[in-house]
Amino acid sequence: MPFPITNQVQTAQQTPKHYGITSPISLAQPKEADVVLTRKLTETLRPFGVFEEELELQRRILVLGKLNTLVKEWICEVSEVKNIPAAVIDNVGGKIFTFGSYRLGVHTKGADIDALCVTPRHVERIDFFSSFYEKLKEQEEVKDLRAVEEAFVPVIKLCFDSIEIDILFARLALQTIPENLDLRDDSLLRNLDIRCIRSLNGCRVTDEILHLVPNIENFRLTLRAIKLWAKRHNIYSNILGFLGGVSWAMLVARTCQLYPNAVAATLVHKFFLVFSKWEWPNPVLLKQPEDCNLNLPVWDPRVTPSDRYHLMPIITPAYPQQNSTYNVSASTRAIMVEEFKRGLAITDEILLNKADWSKLFEAPNFFQKYKHYIVLLASAQTEKQHLEWVGLVESKIRILVGSLEKNEFITLAHVNPQSFPGPKEGNDKEEFTTMWVIGIVFKKMEGSENLNVDLTFDIQSFTDTVYRQAITSKMFEQDMKITAMHVKRKQLHQLLPKVAIPRGKRKHLSDGLRAMNEGSLDLSVDSDNSMSVPSPTGASTARCARATSPQGSTVSTASESQGKTDVLSGSTDPAVGDSNVGTASKKPKVEDGVEQNPQSSPCLSAEPAEERPDSPLENKLSAEAKAEDHSVLEEESSGDANCHLAVDPVTGEMDPSEAEPTMEAEVTEMNTAEKMPPTQKTANADLSDVPILPANPIPVVKNSIKLRLSR
């Protein structure tokens, strides 16, 4: 019966290749209008520097060729030292692979290159960080060479002929490394240590993505557009709880699978359509997960309970499958979904020729978006210390965001992924400072005229975690500091550099910075005693208590007790509440400065400090803030309060005499250990892992951020 067989063959030939875990949504071919829109998209992207010049691309290829030659020479040298037979040395191989944006073909001008050095089994990691490091040091083109051997994924960083390169290391269980080696082969992972598996993961994921999209050129142009859009809209940062490059690549790849014949203009629109309506936390998968029986941990909520709590899972396609977005929080997901919806609305207009592509890439004004902000500053005395300190602080900011969004009075916490140089404190001591800004949205509370919100415990838990990690990793230096402060929108411009300030605000910049540079304006601006956390050498604990509103409703505050613990574990659990350790600054003691509410416990602050006469600084700040009211956009009627503060320059307490009717806020620096009853001086239960007590504990100056919101 040959006839039915012939039919079956013809049907099979007509069936297109299937991409992804589901069938495509549409196989429609592009129309002429789609091609024209794609051409316009390309022209719109060019001024943003997302395309590299051909000359620069050739220079990258040349540099990678030189690096590959160095690797082969080094492996031969190591082989000779280890008495490998000459016949094997001649064919021992070794190779530099690339991954990340360069491998995907979407790198921008001046971007770094992620590379992987793959060696045969007789070349060990210690060789990579010793003899290869020394070989790199001998090269004239190599600058800024540094090894980070103790990192989660160990790396050598360098600048080769002005191109920044990060080189990972993987030693395979092979006698030689062939030139045509395909790293997607799962059998290569057998008998490897976990650090080599982690190092290989980047290349394996990148290669899988390129093999799982129907049209690589359409994928690349779409990804360039989406990455630019994400950066312009402040939602591009894996470390801060948004999405990193590989996650954006996987979302675009999934869109390409669902619309395999579409061109970039259509794919950008479909990207927003698909993910504005995606039912999170359903995972995004590019292929069905496979089990290679290597007993490596993979993302599987059926097996691993912690995987069930991931809010926006995007699963890497290479074994061992992992969730690339485990840092995403409720706030960051809400922000991204809202941006997806806005992107859909704009691309709808573009497809109807009611708007140009430039509208999609217009950067929103983050510093006008919210009424309240928390400003974080990380400072150190030397540039080298500052570089390390900033990296650590930034890696933990998501813990603060997670803590803030769990606060019962906060709807959303949005950290701007872009950091800025911090303002000078006005002293003669040289200091390097980096600043981050977090927008805060407070919930609209019913049935309460006044509301006290205390963020002390949230801030303290964050600083504790950072200092604990710094001490554990032995990178901490005495002058490394974290400062946190509450600033309202109309005074934020006094801290920001000119490039971050909208045009209507720039007229105030010189006055604000001049005041800060002359030391006449404290860094806290809107809330005086900023959360200046002193350098840690001992430890203390923090307990979260509750204060009450004037009506008796519960409002969070913090009451702290001093502990006497030594070096802490490197846990990064945001729930761990052990406080940072520090040296007491030689300042006059600063009291809490708030009345006790009769219905609250003795250690809780519920009422603002009594009024004091205005100082010239207070009058200046108040007058400036009032003048700004005319230039600031109309306040949103979202229910979250606006605030205005006056600062007492002597006691450091907040003076509500200048406060606007809608809000009073105070940020006080206090030491509550002496004021607390003995029964409340208990250690946090989360500190059960602290092994020993220090011989000479240092007193810690406790700090708090307290906001009083009024309707």
Residue numbers annotated as active site: 101, 112, 114, 166, 227, 236
The span from the CA of 286 to the CA of 292, in Å, is 17
- What Å distances lie between residue 102 and 105, 115, 668, 701, CA to CA? 5, 9, 48, 48
Q: DSSP string covering 657-671, please?
A: GG--TTEEEEEEEE-
Instruction: From 682, 324, 664, select the one nearest 527 (Cα to Cα).
Output: 664
Q: Is 471 annotated as a binding residue?
A: no
Q: Tokens in use for 265?
A: 């203009």
* β-sheet bridge partners, residue 243: 236
The span from the CA of 157 to the CA of 569, in Å, is 28
Roughly what angle, to the nearest 10 degrees, separates helices 245-258 and 216-232?
130
The span from the CA of 328 to the CA of 405, in Å, is 12
The single residue listed with the structure tokens 């160095």 is: 70
Q: Is 99 annotated as a binding residue?
A: yes
Q: Is 108 annotated as a binding residue?
A: yes
Distance of alpha carbon 465 from its chain centroid, rounded? 16
Q: What is the DSSP letter of 498?
A: G
Q: Is 632 annotated as a binding residue?
A: no
Q: Name every residue whose Cβ is closer than 8 Å to that of residue 363 and which is 6 or more positions away in sequence.
A: 232, 233, 234
Q: Which residues of 117-127 are buried (b: 16+ CB within 10 A; e: fewer)?
A: bbbbebbebeb
Whether the Cβ atoms of residue 216 and residue 373 lie closer than 8 Å to each other:
no
Whether the Cβ atoms of residue 119 and residue 168 lie closer than 8 Å to each other:
no
Q: Name every residue whose Cβ is closer than 8 Å to that of residue 689 and which is 6 or more positions away in sequence.
A: 569, 571
Instruction: From 489, 487, 517, 518, select the one nearest 504 (Cα to Cα).
Output: 489
Burial of 7 (0-12, 13-18, 19+ CB in 10 A): exposed
Q: Is 169 annotated as a binding residue?
A: no
Q: Is 582 annotated as a binding residue?
A: no
Instruction: From 665, 668, 664, select the one nearest 651 (Cα to Cα).
Output: 668
- What Å distances lie between residue 626 and 19, 455, 516, 630, CA to CA? 59, 26, 19, 8
Q: Is 101 annotated as a binding residue?
A: yes
542 sits in which H/E element: strand 540-548
- What Å distances lie between residue 318 and 183, 208, 231, 289, 328, CA to CA? 10, 7, 26, 8, 21
Q: Is 112 annotated as a binding residue?
A: yes
Q: Is 245 annotated as a binding residue?
A: yes
Q: Is 235 left (phi over 0), alpha (psi -120 to 50) or beta?
A: alpha
Q: Is 566 annotated as a binding residue?
A: no
Q: Tokens in use for 281?
A: 């936390």
Q: Name every residue whose Cβ is closer than 8 Å to that of residue 349 and which is 6 or more positions away in sequence.
A: 355, 359
Whether the Cβ atoms of residue 411 and residue 526 lie closer than 8 Å to each other:
no
- Structural Rg of the chain based on CA atoms: 28
Using DSSP bridges, classify how beta strands 113-119 and 163-171 pair: parallel, antiparallel or unpaired. parallel
Q: Tokens in use for 697?
A: 């504990």
The span from the CA of 400 to the CA of 461, in Å, is 8
Which residues carry a binding-site annotation for Mg(2+)? 112, 114, 166
Known binding-site residues equal 99-101, 108, 112-114, 166, 227, 236, 245-246
Residues of the binding site for ATP: 99-101, 108, 112-114, 166, 227, 236, 245-246
